[in-house]
Amino acid sequence: MVAVDAAVYGGEGMRKASPTVASRRRRASAVWRPVLLLAVGAYFVLPFVAALRYALQSDTGKFSFSAFAGITSQQGFGPAIGLSLRLLVLTVALTLGLMVPTAVYVHLRLPRLRRILDGITILPIVVPPIVLIIGVLDVAPTFAKASPYLLGFEYVVLAMPFAYRSLAAGLAAIDVKTLFEASRSLGGGPLQTLRRVLVPNLRAALLSATVLTVALVLGEFTMASLDQYQTFPVWIVAFDQNNSHVSTAVSFLALFATWALLMVISLLDRRGRTSPAGGE
């Protein structure tokens, strides 16, 4: 009886102690969570604040918006940003046009090749961009090297790992085979099924692939500089030697524009999910 009572009271004591331990853990997490969030926020925000202050401060120590106001009038800015935007449109169109049908076909008809395709698409990350551009310039014909749009095809190779993995994650989240068979039973062809059935269900994956491709094109420097074309990143580095304040202001605006683009795409994705068409 004594042993039984001890066991009973001991169990009750443990049950009473466990809420106390849990409450202590909750208090500790409540204390450390804001500290950790502030530390991470400071790690990301402080460089932006320092860049903004440097862009606003002149050599005499006065603060003004002259660096931001004179961006568009700087020599070479218009052609550089125009070339980058044209390469951006070309790269996004080629990347999605190649990756979407390939990823859908592999997931639908050749599931055994998924691992092989995963290994192939990872190669642009393993191989340095400088090696890729030297190889391309060595084998590309003269008319291709004379066109800046060769960079668009090179950027497709660089964007392939990010675009394919975004699409593969989106395809893994839906039942591709069931959707395809249902569309075919209703008389839909392969292209119609891809356009009207699969693409709406891959909206988030397509947006993710687009964002990653945009960030890559607007930030790639090595290939463009070795190909001797002045894209937006190359112009920033070249102009930094003449006016570092304006160059910092341009870099700050580029980062802000990329962040704004991410927010717009995220809002479009949320509206697509909550709309009646997205709900159906």
Single out the residue of 4, 174, 205 nearest to residue 100, CA to CA.
Answer: 205
Measured CA to CA in angstroms, residue 187 lies from 23, 182, 190, 196 at distances of 60, 9, 10, 13
Position 141: which residue type? Answer: P
First to last CA, the chain: 65
Q: How many whole angstroms separate alpha carbon 15 and alpha carbon 4? A: 16
* Amino acid, res. 177: K
Task: Please spell the DSSP secondary structure of the chain, one letter per residue.
Answer: -HHHHHHHHHHHHHHHHHHHHHHHHHHHHHHHHHHHHHHHHHHHHHHHHHHHHHHHB-TTS-B-SHHHHTSTTSTTHHHHHHHHHHHHHHHHHHHHHHHHHHHHHHHHH-GGGHHHHHHHHTHHHHS-HHHHHHHHHHHS-HHHHTSTTHHHHHHHHHHHHHHHHHHHHHHHTS-HHHHHHHHHHTT--HHHHIIIIIHHHTHHHHHHHHHHHHHHHHH--HHHHHTT---HHHHHHHHHTT-HHHHHHHHHHHHHHHHHHHHHHHHHHHHHHHSHHHH-
Which pLDDT belongs to residue 164? Answer: 92
The two tokens of residue 61 are: 């120590």
| Encoded amino acid at 44, one letter | F
| Token pair 């006065």 in the structure block, residue | 62
DSSP three-state, residue 269: helix
Which helix (H) or strand (E) covers residue 113, if one does? none
pLDDT (tens place) for every residue of the chain, 280 residues total: 444 454 444 544 444 445 576 666 666 666 778 888 888 888 888 888 888 888 888 777 788 887 787 787 888 888 998 999 999 999 999 999 999 999 999 988 888 888 888 888 888 888 888 888 888 888 888 888 889 999 999 999 999 999 999 999 899 888 888 888 888 888 888 888 888 888 888 888 898 898 889 889 988 898 999 888 999 889 888 877 677 778 888 888 888 887 787 777 777 767 666 655 444 4
Distance CA 161, CA 67 (A): 37
